[in-house]
Amino acid sequence: MTGTVSDPDALRQRALTALLAARDRTSLLTTCVEEPELTAQHSPLMSPLVWDLAHIGNQEELWLLRAVAGRDAMRPEIDGLYDAFEHPRSERPSLPLLAPVEARRYAAEVRGRALDVLESTPFRGSPLTDAGFAFGMIAQHEQQHDETMLITHQLRSGPTALTAPDPAPAPAFSGPAEVLVPGGPFTMGTSTEPWALDNERPAHHRLVPSFHIDTTPVSNADYQRFIADGGYEEQRWWAPAGWDMVRGNGLSAPLFWRREGGQWLRRHFGTVEVVPPDEPVLHVSWYEADAYARWAGRRLPSEEEWEKAARYDPATDRSMRYPWGDADPTPERANLGQRHLRPAPVGSYPAGESPLGVRQLIGDVWEWTSSDFLPYPGFAAFPYREYSDVFFGGDHKVLRGGAFSVDEVACRGTFRNWDHPVRRQIFSGFRTARDADPTEAP
């Protein structure tokens, strides 16, 4: 699907496919463990898995059955239990949540009714139904919670519950370490992508000076050199709050890593493995990414730099939907959708590289940028303030590109993710950038 597709039948089929794919993933994530694992809180940073399950159903009911179809509430008494803003995650285990069997039954009943609504709703007439926006929004919402539940699976203790094939082996990357992105204007954001969320809108022009950006994400081997050089022991590399985080928590490596027998090991979905040197580094905070970049004599790219590297085609002087063009992601182009439960080696997916030769801008790991999460010029909250508007400001940093954990419906060249700079449980990595010399030709 291109960003300007308007065929209602094609959009309806896409919405159906996206909703079914999301539910398949939700089912897998909530049936691979026993009931005590669903109701337990595996980290104060995360909800019990059973909360996510019923919350998914509740949001679908609120938007597709009530807002779109105008139907009466099925379970109005549970709305408050599953309002993400009414109860912080740390409180949710103490709430009278639906039991797993009841939560599954509720979500399934909502889904059955929602598919009837999908079949009968005209994709026109209101901002909520134009191009099937509400259905795309709900598919994205469920996939975002599927990613959240995958994080919970990584945090939980106990034996492996999830398995998936590893990405295909890739030859060692031998291309250039960085590419030059030419300076000049480009179009950032979108006004045409039918299911783009409010913080991606509207399209607007940005003037970006020339800069260099890493061809691939920073690898585990790269990051180990930072550790070996005393990166966690040198205050000069760290932002003040980051240094406080390091010293206050005794940090010496990414989350889930430990040093044993002269090598770095990590816990990965219930198994312990040697840290793969050629994979992108994972589970690092913004502060760690920023410190590494300073140590390397570089910096994190800004959000606008990242998007220009990912979308700008100098041959046509336009911004594309993805680095490879306007076509949807495929397994040959990007590591998405939890097909694999790990990033692919750096330099993988040559079919997904940008016109400038940058690889893995979509999939594998979310990439921290230097930018605060702020609205674009002309931003309008839609369909509710709590999706984006309440998070704008200096408390959140922007991540771009998506990870192996996120589905393609919730990942595109304009998609914006955000989190607190201390967060490490998310599937986050980074690449670095540097200013171009004024004498360098574009």
Residue 201's nearest CA partner among 418, 386, 387, 380 is 380
The torsion of the CA quartet 157, 159, 164, 169, rounded to 10 degrees, works out to 90
- pTM as predicted: 0.96
> Residue 259 — φ and ψ, nearest 5°?
-95, 125
Name the pLDDT band for 436 (thresholds 50, 70, 90).
very high
Angle between helix 49-60 and helix 100-120 axes, rounded to 10 deg:
30
> Residue 47 — φ and ψ, nearest 5°?
-80, 160
Question: What is the pLDDT of the chain when averaged over all its residues?
Answer: 96
44/6 Cα distance (integer angstroms): 43
The torsion of the CA quartet 375, 326, 142, 338, rounded to 10 degrees, works out to -120
Read off the pLDDT of each residue in 186-190 and give the average, rounded to a whole number: 98
pLDDT at 118 over 90: yes
pLDDT digits (tens, 9 = 90+) for 57-87: 999 999 999 999 999 999 999 999 999 999 9
146 within 8 A of 411, measured Cβ to Cβ: no
Q: Is 117 helix (H, G, I), strand (E, B) or coil?
A: helix
Name the pLDDT band for 441 (thresholds 50, 70, 90).
low
pLDDT digits (tens, 9 = 90+) for 242-257: 999 999 999 999 999 9
DSSP state of 325: B
78 within 8 A of 51, measured Cβ to Cβ: no
Lowest mean pLDDT among 6-10, 189-193, 244-248, 416-420: 6-10
pLDDT of residue 1: 46
Q: Which residue type sits at 178?
A: E
pLDDT at 429 over 50: yes
Residue 252's nearest CA partner among 207, 293, 286, 288 is 288
pLDDT at 286 over 90: yes
224/277 Cα distance (integer angstroms): 9
Read off the pLDDT of each residue in 386-403 and give the average, rounded to a whole number: 96
Residue 339's nearest CA partner among 178, 196, 146, 190 is 146
pLDDT digits (tens, 9 = 90+) for 163-183: 999 999 888 899 999 999 999
pLDDT at 101 over 70: yes
pLDDT of residue 384: 94
pLDDT of residue 4: 47
Read off the pLDDT of each residue in 372-384 and give the average, rounded to a whole number: 97
Read off the pLDDT of each residue in 21-28 and give the average, rounded to a whole number: 98
Non-local (6+) Cβ contacts of 20 within 8 A are none
379/199 Cα distance (integer angstroms): 7
Side by side, the strands of the sheet bearing 366-373 are 417-419, 393-400, 366-373, 428-429
CB-count burial class (<10 Å; 0-12, 13-18, 19+) for 87:
middle
